[in-house]
Amino acid sequence: MKKKLSLKEIFQGSIIGLGIKEIFPFAGLEKEITAINIRLINQIPFASLKKNNSTIAIITPKALNQLRVMGENLCRQMPDNFFTNHIVFLILSRSLSIPVFLKKHTANIDIPIAASKYDEYYLRSLLKALIREKLQEIISIHGVVLEVKGKGILITGASGIGKTTAAFQSVVKDYYWVADDVAVIKRNKSGELIASGHKKINNYIHTEATGIIPVRNLLDSGRIKMKTKLNAIIEVEKAGIRDIRVTKGEKEILGINLTCLHINIPSASYFNENLLKKTIRQLSKDN
């Protein structure tokens, strides 16, 4: 059975992250959906939408200017399917406010409209990620995934901080390799978080020493796993400190709280194999 959520539930807690300050009328977000498309509208009129597909339409500045020219004659000049053919939400990209004429029209047809400060392409990528997370319960996170004694560990941090090199060196001796660069996390039917690599790059590894090469060129196949149950997170961050600091907390992913160790390292330092193993030992003691 497909998951059904209202637009309000989908956007809850994500409005600021989408660069949105206002939604009008808010009541229009009560409509429930099971699937949704994201469509860029750069030209008025536009090609018809496929039937039965609820759609979030991102209105570009070019299309908005065309709507402004229509002005008060909007209802007569607008193609019939613009506001009625399965569009459930309108977002104006690169816009700080909703024009009054659009508020008047959308209020009559119960389709919410919002203005976002972000450009249409960035906004589309944010919306796609949000829909995947809320409806499909799948998210992608920049990081490396290992398996240690049957438990999956996600290592996150800025590019170049040493995540991949530390993980690879540890896998050669003790652990199992799952994913590099992009970790795809989803909930299974039992409610567990399962981590794997992105399908386009899950067979590759990228380090400064090797460049991008197939992971099987470096590791024995017995040290590679396609997926793992995610149990904990290690966050690595550089800071203006002299000594390494480790803080224990929790991080929520897809509604599940995981143990998270946040590691601050000096600005001139890098995350390495010894620090990774020390952190994993601490996770093992805590769990």
How confident is the chain (287 residues) per 10-residue block, as mean pLDDT?
A: 78 90 80 85 68 82 85 52 70 92 75 92 92 86 94 94 91 91 90 91 82 88 94 94 92 92 93 93 80
Same structural domain for residues 144 and 281? yes
**277 in the same domain as 149:** yes
Distance CA 179, CA 167 (A): 10
Q: Which domain holds residue 174?
A: 139-286
**Tokens in use for 274?**
């010894």
- 155 with 264, same domain: the answer is yes
What's the chain's length in residues? 287
Q: Are residues 126 and 143 in the same domain?
A: no
Cα separation, 265 vs 149, in Å, equals 26
Do 193 and 256 meet the contact criterion of CB atoms below 8 Å apart? Answer: yes
Does 123 lie in the same domain as 45? yes
The pLDDT value given to residue 45: 62
Would you state the structure tokens that stand for residue 203, as one six-digit string? 């067979």
For residues 179 and 185, what is the distance between their CA atoms, to the nearest angstrom? Answer: 11
Identify the domain boundary among 100, 135, 170. Answer: 135
Same domain, 198 and 269: yes
Same domain, 87 and 109: yes
Residues 22 and 44 in one domain: yes
pLDDT at 123 (0 to 100): 95
Residues 247 and 266 in one domain: yes
The two structure tokens encoding residue 228: 């793992």
Q: What is the pTM of this model?
A: 0.71
Sign of the alpha-carbon dihedral angle for 125, 13, 89, 96: negative
Query: Cα–Cα distance between 61 and 183 in angstroms, integer?
Result: 34
Q: Tell me which residue has tokens 């400060």.
A: 117
Same domain for 227 and 99: no
Contact 255, 133 (CB under 8 A): no
Which run of H or of E encompasses 284? helix 273-286
pLDDT of residue 51: 55
Domain count, the chain: 2
Q: Are 150 and 67 in contact (CB under 8 A)?
A: no
